Amino acid sequence: MTTAPFGARLRAAMDTRGPLCVGIDPHASLLTEWGLGDDVAGLERFTRTVVDALAERVAVLKPQSAFFERFGSRGIAVLERAVADARAAGALVLMDAKRGDIGSTMGAYAAAYLDPGSPLFSDAVTVSPYLGFGSLRPALDAARASGAGVFVLALTSNPEGAEVQHAVRADGTSVAASVLASLKAENAAEAAEGRLGSFGAVVGATLGTAASRAGAELTVDGPLLAPGIGAQGATPADLPGVFGAAVRNVVPSVSRGVLRYGPDAASLVEAAARMADEVRAVAE
């Protein structure tokens, strides 16, 4: 069976379930807040609770790989099950791994997350382009072949990011603008058919006018993952000011703003639904 491209599946999920991505970030302090141990048992209980509560309701679930990797192979086993269970329940899974390397190593990362035969196969993965956008080719090609997506770090919300992302290249464009232009080129074929592209950018919701200051055009004809909603200070009301005409393609990402309502499943569901409604109100 042929899998529809990620962009098309994401658009359908956002239209039916609401435009929201909920992170699965089981860091130590949140496990403690939930009354769980900072161990594999706590990790598994936390992750299963989030997946069971939200995977049938939200468009995207985004596990942060690092919080599972810190527990070694047993943590990765929890992650593998979470990916499988979330996808089986209808959520798109975006693996937040931020991988970036060259050649065969980048190819191995692509095989880990974008090969349907891998136990960590996800609908999309985050990657870093700062070894050069061309270094991402193995991931881009693997995603295209499997109907998956890729989100590329472009204008991140951390203040340190500006020293690289706002840097000006020899041709007078900023690094961020170059990344975004490259993504638009990758999405050209899908855009020509009137569909949302499968190759997206990560652009922080807390950036305000930083995109325009970097000379960056946010219309990449693909999705824009927008972290920073909630604990980092941004709200859904900030999205039109940051993204302008591209706001309909924004996938706001919230973690603590929803997860802090656990471990009660009903409270998690209510928090996610409330946030999705707030985003929908400003995106329409």
pLDDT at 1: 43
DSSP element (H, E) containing 251 = strand 250-254
| pLDDT for the residue 214 | 56
H-only helix segments in 56-125 = 65-69, 72-88, 103-114
pLDDT digits (tens, 9 = 90+) for 7-16: 999 999 999 9
- The domain limits of the chain are 6-276
Q: Residue with structure tokens 């824009």?
A: 224
pLDDT given at position 2: 57
Lowest mean pLDDT among 77-91, 140-154, 194-208: 194-208
Residue 267's Cβ-count burial label (10 Å; 0-12, 13-18, 19+) is: middle
CA dihedral 236, 242, 243, 247 (to 10 degrees): 10
In CATH terms, the fold of domain 6-276 is: TIM Barrel (3.20.20)
CB-based contacts of 113-119 (< 8 A; 24+ apart in sequence): 113/148, 114/139, 114/142, 114/143, 114/146, 114/148, 114/150, 115/142, 115/146, 116/146, 119/80, 119/83, 119/84
pLDDT of residue 218: 80
**Looking at residue 133, what is its pLDDT?**
97
Chain segment 165-201, per-residue pLDDT in tens: 989 999 999 999 999 999 999 999 999 999 999 999 9
101 and 130 Cβ atoms separated by less than 8 Å: no
pTM here?
0.96
| Model confidence pLDDT, tens digit, residues 15-69 | 999 999 999 999 999 999 999 999 999 999 999 999 999 999 999 999 999 999 9
Full DSSP string of 2-33? PPPPHHHHHHHHHHHH-S-EEEE---HHHHHH
Q: Can 62 be counted among the known catalytic residues?
A: no
- Per residue in 84-108, pLDDT (tens digit) is 999 999 999 999 999 999 999 999 9
CA–CA gap between residue 200 and residue 101 (Å, rounded)? 18
Q: What is the dihedral of CA 231, 151, 180, 14, to 10 degrees?
A: -70
- What pLDDT is stored for residue 158 in this prediction? 87
Which tens digit of pLDDT belongs to each residue from 204-247?
Answer: 988 876 666 555 678 899 999 999 887 677 889 989 888 888 89
* Encoded tokens for 128: 């870093």
Amino acid at 281: A
Task: Say if residue 111's pLDDT is above 50.
Answer: yes
Q: Which of 98, 137, 256, 274 is catalytic?
A: 98
